[in-house]
Structure 1
């Protein structure tokens, strides 16, 4: 039952993430709200990259980020980031369909080389906490970036504040 809910949420939220990434204008990709923040382009690429991590989470018991060789492209090219997103969503979807309820209960670990950075913990907990919530967190940041640069935020869960105020 959990797998069915995760799959439905995944599909719904992919649509929301796509709307958000499509709302990012090329002209603002270098915007950076503070010295320690990512640029808008870097943040967008990170959001697109998280979908790639579904593969390692759902198909491996131990995922070593040090061996990961994902080609990401230029952070100042929103079309490249959107293409990365679409490619990673397809990989994530395929990995998600390979899961079973039993595999969601198996322990999973993330490493960077010899260092364990997450886990071991049940794969279903990782799906919610590390993958889904991670994307939601960074989408929230992107909404702040878009508003700070005067751009329109797309409605993902209904009308946005701007929509409800008649565009003012």
Structure 2
């Protein structure tokens, strides 16, 4: 039951993420709000990459990020990032479709070069925090980037501020 709820949330939120990534103009991919921030292109690519991590998270008891290689393309190419996103969404969807409720109780850890950097904790907590909430956090950042560069923000949970100004009272 819970695994089906997670899959439904995934489908709903993936559509919102797609709308947000599609709103990123190529002309602003090099924008970064501070010297220590990612560029808009790097942030978009990171969002697309998180969907790739679903497979390792949902199918392995220990997931080593450094042992996993993923061709990402240049962060300055929004079309490549959108293609990466769509490819990774399909992989994530298949992994979620294979998830059973009892899998959510199994312990899971993330490693980097053999060193544990997250966990161990129940996989269900990891799905919510490391996968779902992680994407939502970065979508919020992307909204700030879009607004800071004067771009329109698509409505993810109803009309945005900009859209509501155009609506009749």
Q: Which band: TM-score by shorter chain? A: over 0.9
What whole-Å deviation, never above 9, does each CA across 1:8-47 have from its counterpart, x for those lacking one? 1000000000000000000000001000000000000000
Q: Secondary structure at the match of 2:109?
A: strand
Aligned match of 2:164 = 164
Aligned to 1:147: 147
Q: Secondary structure at the match of 2:38?
A: coil
Secondary structure at the counterpart of residue 151 of structure 1: coil
- The whole-number CA distance in structure 2 between the counterparts of 1:63 and 1:40 is 27
1:79-130 deviations in Å (ceiling 9; x for gaps): 0000000000000001111111111110000000121011111101000011
Three-state SS of the structure 2 residue aligned to 1:155 is coil
Q: Which runs of 4+ in 1 moved over 4 A?
A: none
Root-mean-square deviation over aligned CA pairs: 0.8
For residue 84 of structure 2, what is the aligned residue in structure 1?
84
Q: Report the count of equivalent residues.
A: 167
Partner of 1:131 in structure 2?
Answer: 131
CA drift of 1:2 comes to 1.2
Q: How far apart, in 2, do the equivalents of 1:5 and 1:105 lie?
A: 16
Deviation larger for 2-11 or 15-24? 2-11
Whole-Å separation in 1 of the counterparts to 2:125 and 2:133: 11
Structure 2: any 5+ residue segments left out of the alignment?
Answer: none
TM superposition score normalised by structure 1: 0.98
**2:27 alignment counterpart:** 27
